[in-house]
Amino acid sequence: MRKVAVFLMMLSVCLLGSVPSGAIVYIDINSPGGVKIPVAVPYLLPEGEGAEKYARGISEVLGEDLTSSSIFTLIDRDAYLQEVTPQIFEPGGISFSDWKMIGADSLVLGKVSLKGNRVVAELRLYDVAVGKLLVGKIYRGPARRFDMIAHKFANEILYQYTGVKGVFDTEIAFSARKGKGKEIFITDLTGRRIKQVTSNGSINMFPRWSPDGYKLAYLSYRRGKPAIYIRDFLTGRDRLLFRTGGFKSPGCFSPDGSSLFLTLTRNGNVDIYRYIFGEEKLVRVVSGYGIEVSPSVSPDGKKLAFVSDRTGYPQIYVTSLEGGRPVRVSFAGYYSTSPSWSPRGDWIAFTSMSEGKFSIYVVRPDGSDQRLLVTGDGSCEDPSFSPDGRYVVYIYRKKGYSELRITSITGFGDRLLLRGFKEIGSPSWSPRR
């Protein structure tokens, strides 16, 4: 994990000389069910010994990323009319008419070489209709993480067509059963690259990312009693935050990373506290006659969404951290939990039970415009927003089976991310690094 974090800081990128500045916005990413952009992603051209594996790998991951966005549709490689050879990179070498004939609006070309244990990839995106280069970049990075090159360029492609950077290089932390315990894992957005964070054989739950994406707070019973730890991915070390009090669980970091909101049981009361780093002190921020749990802070750091049963059953409330009376914002079912505040500040996603199963809803922070986001024949639980606020990851459960799924904020493009783990819980989407 430490090596992965360091790689993210070391990946070098260069712009190609003929790249235009600024994004060309063609589509509205928030428009549900819009027409998808047909894109051709032929295998990149390998240059030199050992490069073919990485040329194909980057092409495949790039295609998976674009398809998963629900904005692009990938044209079958068997339909391509022009072969990718060194001549295609010469002036006038691209036969745009051939790519138009197979229905491509966009074309990705590139070449890959291997320099020791590092990959060098030159990638270009073309607008087929006008025969124009939209963006081109050269990436250099460790060969073992060639997938990050694909993710980075997929972000650039999305930006060219929407004006919004993609999240393909982000990750999702979650807990899952392993042996007699539960451990913390991290997956990329393809569901193929999975890393195990904890391996202590106890119960580990509720992973929560720091704003810079290099730390992860989580609850662990590794020493018998519940305690909150913070994993630093740059050092690979865990820090015990504190063990005082009864049950406790991390909720979220403050937007500036200076504190951690958490749930803590003290003297029989379950309230929400703020742990301030540096000062190493706890400040109670939400209390009441019932339980107050699951804090989720607004992106400006001024408000907090949380769960309270002060009216008899758990519901979602929003309160100002500067003082004021909490306001109930959930009115979907009689039992609502797991609020997640969008990084854009416009929505709060939450889980609510209705007709004997859990579904995912979204609501405005003032309690207006509540909508059903996703439901199914099983239960849909524990939403977490992507850093651009466009997607939500959640857990689907049915009769002991569980999987991670991703849906857009419009409810379109629901897809499977990960299956094969038992008792998946508490997904948390990382920020951009």
Q: What pLDDT digit, counting tens, does each position of 117-135 carry? A: 999 999 999 999 999 999 9
Tell the residue number behind the tokens 């092409």, with chain if given: 59
Whether CATH 3.90.870.10 fits 2-162: no
pLDDT surpassing 90 at residue 214? yes
Quote the CA–CA distance of 154 and 132 in Å, as a whole number.
18
Q: Comparing 52-61, 102-111, 280-289, which segment has the lowest mean pLDDT?
A: 280-289
Nearest partner of 360 among 392, 315, 390, judged by Cα: 392
pLDDT in tens, 315-358: 999 999 998 899 999 999 999 999 999 999 999 999 999 888 99
pLDDT surpassing 80 at residue 164? yes
Give span(s): CATH 2.120.10.30, the chain.
171-429
pLDDT in tens, 51-88: 999 999 999 999 999 988 878 999 999 999 999 999 99
Whether CATH 3.40.50.300 fits 171-429: no
Rg (CA), the chain: 23
Element (H, E) at 274: strand 269-276
pLDDT in tens, 241-261: 977 667 889 999 999 999 999
Which residue(s) pair with 185 in the sheet? 174, 196
The pLDDT of 43-48, averaged and rounded, is 96
Highest mean pLDDT among 106-110, 262-266, 321-325: 106-110
Give span(s): CATH 3.40.50.10070, the chain.
2-162
Q: For position 30, what pLDDT does the model report?
A: 54
Model-level pTM?
0.88
The torsion defined by the Cα of 286, 291, 260 and 386, in degrees rounded to 10, comes to -110
